[in-house]
Amino acid sequence: MKRNRLVVGTRGSKLAMWQAKHIADRLIKAHDGLEVEIRHIITTGDKILDVPLAKIGGKGLFTKELENAMLAGEIDLAVHSLKDMPTELPPGLILAAVTERIDPGDALISPRFGTIDKLPCGAKIGTSSLRRKAQLLHYRPDLTAVDLRGNIDTRLQKLETEGLDGILLAVSGLKRLGWQDRITQIVPMEICLPAVGQGALAIEARENDVSVLKLLACLEHQATRFAVTAERAFLHEVEGGCQVPIGVYAAMAGDALELEAAIATPDGARLIREKVAGPPSAAAELGINLARRMIAAGGREILKCMMGGGTPFV
């Protein structure tokens, strides 16, 4: 049966609402007569703003309530930043579409100093991400990383009100909200690899809802799907989330898919980084194989350290 109305679930932040409206507009443009309602749902991650993500569970904090609403039939699909999604979804739900990735990297906003290399010794940099913190400190161990929670606009305000010398944010979020003029440096990938799926939007839907899945097919970007499949397979094999500093990035290079990853301790003192390439059709295997190689090359010890010396993730 052809659907003529969809209910899209989203978080209520300015960025999340922009993303949901963007997807709604694309669907309306692609399907004549389609009506789309956007429904705002508050997630656990939106409620707890005074505790670092790593201490309250990390992945799933921004998706669970949306997924429950989907399974209950209250919404037809949910729009997420792909980097917020766990590698395992609840039974009955699938990653129905992945949009074309834009600007996957991280940005430094430092009006006084401009770039990471120009930051003075001891400079205070705000970030909510263990991944950013670890890679930054590996490159500049003399810097001070400060926990910074809140939506993008809140973090931009805290840059001015909390005596910070700079903050690190995703380039894609800043650009989507029209705040790209605040960026003073796009951090080189050589310094900081992004989060899994950073820069791409994920459309989650019910696995058996064929009519909805057909409508969502127009959103799919195959090259991005290959890339994030490799990244998510890597993360799943390592079984890391926000509590483990992991950076990973895949992209097509000609006919090959290149995948690079880093596993680090939170203080950046130890960091393992490797790169592989292979056919995009074997994206998941590429991620799994790289994860196993890095775990064997020292990642196991880092993961043991993260678990307090107990059983590692693998």
Residue 262 has pLDDT above 90, yes or no: yes
126: which strand partners?
146, 167
Task: Say yes or no: do domains 5-101+200-220 and 229-303 share a fold.
Answer: no
What is the rounded CA–CA span in Å between residue 208 and residue 61?
25
pLDDT digits (tens, 9 = 90+) for 137-166: 999 999 999 999 788 888 988 998 999 999
Torsion of CA 216, 15, 144, 165, to 10 degrees: 140
Structure tokens at 29: 């443009």
- The tens digit of pLDDT for each residue in 288-308 reads 999 999 999 888 888 776 654
**Which listed residue (76, 84, 165, 209) is catalytic?**
84
Instruction: State whether residue 166 is helix, strand or coil.
Output: strand
- What residue ranges do the domains of the chain occupy? 5-101+200-220, 106-186, 229-303
pLDDT of 1 above 70: no
Q: pLDDT digit string (tens) for 265-288? A: 999 999 999 999 999 999 999 999
pLDDT tens-digit readout, 202-235: 999 999 999 999 999 999 999 999 999 999 999 9
pLDDT of residue 53: 52
Report how far residue 100's alpha carbon sits from residue 200's, in angstroms, rounded to the nearest whole number: 6
Q: Which CATH number fits domain 229-303: 3.40.50.150, 3.30.160.40, 3.40.395.10, 3.40.190.10?
A: 3.30.160.40
Q: Catalytic annotation on 32?
A: no
Crossing angle for the helix pair 283-294 and 222-238, nearest 10 degrees?
30
Task: Give the CATH number of domain 5-101+200-220.
Answer: 3.40.190.10
Structure confidence at residue 312 (pLDDT):
31
Tokens 């430092």 found at = 110
Adjacent-strand bridge partners of 257:
252, 278
Q: How is domain 106-186 classified at the architecture level of CATH?
A: 3-Layer(aba) Sandwich (3.40)
State the Cα–Cα distance between residues 73 and 143, nearest whole angstrom: 48
- What are the contacts of 64-68 at 24+ separation with CB within 8 A? 65/41, 66/9, 66/10, 66/11, 66/41, 66/204, 67/93, 67/204
Which range is least confidently modeled, 191-205, 208-222, 240-254? 240-254
Residue 104 binned pLDDT confidence (cut-offs 50, 70, 90): very high
Paired with 263 in beta bridges are: 246, 272
- Report phi then psi at 195, rounded to 5: -75, 160
Cα separation of 95 and 185, whole Å?
Answer: 32
Q: Give the mean model confidence (pLDDT) for residues 97-118.
A: 97
